[in-house]
């Protein structure tokens, strides 16, 4: 018999909405929290988030609210889907509203500035008594809403938590897998946004398929190199949160970070691109933080350094490839099983 959970999803963007609806479709009551009163009224009236997912019907088990108190009342699982810039603020606000047993799950693929805190680390700091998990993977919200088959990975240090989240979310068209490497899964989701900008830039400049293949594999090498230095398992990057998410985000115009790269490659100024976006593109923020953290840790990341110089110092794109060819480490696969 299905155990019914009471769930809140904080953040009414496209991904928060689609995850809330998947849970509601599985028979669990879900409260979706967002700040916009008019959008809340429209969701409750029309069962549709027309701003972000027009035409996507929302299950009757899902209701929306602007009240954190109402969203958090009586829940046993809380999903956080707010941008990284406001993640700590919302976590702090909800800390007094949930019980210590409430499971906290981050959906946000980003890094907090200043510093280099992942969202699970913020949850640990602000709600230290609560169990935590993350969800990541190649999950473009528009494709999930369209009913295309997708997969995600849930990660925590507890097999029981992973099993609970599997049962909560898993369906015929949304497949859920587990991992014990919470930090690696979360890093994969955050870091790939940087390389999606570079991939979009390359697409606008017609780099070609060979160059794209080179970029993706060297990006995966950089990501895993950095993550392992931070304590993650390199094998995590062979899964959905690594190569799966990297491939999708670096090849789809549905990716906000990829679209930024395309626009820059066509000559549009970065500030103008960002001003025209209706949702946060985490890759820009993550790029700056990642570059600084890699320098502190002594991690070799020529793609990160090159992209930073392109965006912030107007460096020619050709210089990036010259540097990569001349300075990249000669080893192809760095982490080889004995």
Average pLDDT of the residues in 58-87: 96
Write out the DSSP string of 185-222.
HHHHHHHHHHHHHHHHHHHHTT--HHHHHHHHHHHHHH
**pLDDT at position 255 over 90:** no
For 126-177, the pLDDT digits (tens) are 999 999 999 999 999 999 999 999 999 999 999 999 999 999 999 999 999 9
Binding-site residues from annotation for NADPH: 14-15, 35, 52, 109, 141, 256, 280, 282
Q: In the chain, what are the domain boundaries?
A: 7-180, 184-327
**pLDDT at position 284 over 80:** yes
For 28-50, the pLDDT digits (tens) are 999 999 999 999 999 999 999 99
Please, where are the H alpha helices in 230-327? 245-249, 256-265, 270-275, 282-297, 302-313, 317-327
Check residue 64 and give left, alpha or beta (phi > 0: left; psi -120 to 50: alpha): beta
What pLDDT shows up at residue 142? 94
For 213-254, the pLDDT digits (tens) are 888 999 999 999 999 999 999 999 999 999 999 999 998 888
Average pLDDT of the residues in 273-282: 76
Residue 20 contacts residue 62 (beta carbons within 8 Å): yes
Write out the DSSP string of 226-252.
HHHHTT--GGGGGSIIIIIHHHHHTT-
Dist. CA 305–CA 320, nearest whole Å: 8
What pLDDT shows up at residue 212? 86
Percentage of the chain lying above the pLDDT 90 cut: 73
- Cis link prior to 79 (omega < 30° from 0)? no
Percentage of the chain lying above the pLDDT 70 cut: 93
Higher pLDDT, 25 or 313: 25
What pLDDT shows up at residue 134? 98
For 296-330, the pLDDT digits (tens) are 999 999 999 999 998 888 887 777 766 665 665 66
R_g over Cα of the chain:
20
What are the CB-based long-range contacts (under 8 Å, 24+) for 332-337? 333/221, 334/221, 334/224, 334/225, 334/234, 335/224, 335/228, 335/234, 335/235
Is 192 assigned a catalytic role? yes
Round the average pLDDT of the chain to a whole number and report it.
Answer: 91
Judged by DSSP in three states, 105 sits in strand
Residue 120 contacts residue 101 (beta carbons within 8 Å): no
Task: Report how far apart, in Å, the C-alpha atoms of 47 and of each of 56, 82, 336 are.
Answer: 8, 21, 50
Average pLDDT of the residues in 68-95: 96
Average pLDDT of the residues in 11-18: 96
Residue 184 contacts residue 241 (beta carbons within 8 Å): yes
Domain 184-327 in CATH 1.10.275.30? The answer is: no
Q: Please choose, from the candidates 252, 228, 251, 253, the residue with its C-alpha nearest in 3D space to the C-alpha of residue 238.
A: 228
- Say which DSSP state 267 is in: T
Binding-site residues from annotation: 11-16, 35, 52, 109, 137, 141, 192, 245, 255-257, 280, 282
Binding-site residues from annotation for NAD(+): 11-16, 141, 256
Greatest mean pLDDT among 94-98, 190-194, 206-210, 273-277: 94-98
Q: What is the pTM of this model?
A: 0.90
Binding-site residues from annotation for substrate: 109, 256-257
What pLDDT shows up at residue 319? 74
Catalytic residue among 5, 28, 192, 225: 192
Binding-site residues from annotation for sn-glycerol 3-phosphate: 109, 137, 192, 245, 255-257
What pLDDT shows up at residue 73? 95
**pLDDT at position 338 over 60:** no
Domain 7-180 in CATH 3.40.50.720? The answer is: yes
Place of tokens 């599985």: 26
What pLDDT shows up at residue 236? 94
């Amino acid at each position: 018999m299905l155990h019914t959970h009471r769930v809140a999803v904080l953040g009414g963007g496209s991904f928060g909405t689609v995850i809330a609806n998947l849970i509601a479709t599985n028979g669990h009551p879900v409260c979706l929290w967002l700040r916009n009163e008019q959008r809340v009224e429209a969701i409750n009236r029309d069962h549709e988030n027309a701003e972000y997912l027009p035409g996507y019907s929302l299950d009757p088990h899902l209701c929306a609210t602007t009240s954190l108190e109402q969203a958090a009342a009586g829940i046993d699982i809380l999903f956080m889907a707010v941008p990284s810039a406001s993640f700590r603020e919302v976590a702090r606000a909800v800390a007094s509203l949930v019980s210590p047993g409430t499971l906290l799950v981050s959906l946000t693929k980003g890094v907090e500035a200043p510093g280099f805190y992942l969202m699970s680390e913020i949850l640990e700091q602000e709600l230290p008594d609560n169990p935590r998990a993350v969800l990541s993977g190649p999950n473009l919200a528009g494709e999930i809403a369209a009913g295309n088959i997708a997969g995600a990975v849930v990660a925590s240090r507890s097999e029981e938590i992973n099993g609970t989240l599997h049962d909560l979310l898993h369906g015929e068209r949304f497949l859920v897998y587990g991992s014990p490497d919470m930090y690696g899964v979360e890093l994969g989701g955050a870091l790939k946004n940087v390389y999606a900008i570079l991939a979009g830039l390359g697409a606008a400049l017609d780099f070609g398929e060979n160059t794209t293949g080179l970029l993706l594999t060297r990006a995966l090498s950089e990501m895993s190199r950095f993550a392992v230095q931070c304590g993650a398992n390199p094998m995590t990057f062979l899964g959905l949160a690594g190569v799966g998410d990297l491939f999708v985000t670096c090849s789809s115009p549905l990716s906000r970070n990829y679209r930024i790269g395309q626009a820059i490659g066509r000559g549009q100024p970065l500030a103008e691109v960002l001003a025209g976006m209706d949702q946060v593109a985490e890759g820009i923020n993550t790029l700056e933080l990642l570059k600084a953290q890699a320098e502190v840790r002594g991690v070799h990341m020529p793609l990160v350094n090159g992209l930073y110089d392109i965006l912030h110092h107007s460096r020619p794109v050709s210089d990036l490839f010259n540097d990569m060819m001349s300075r990249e480490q000669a080893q192809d696969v760095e982490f080889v099983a004995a």
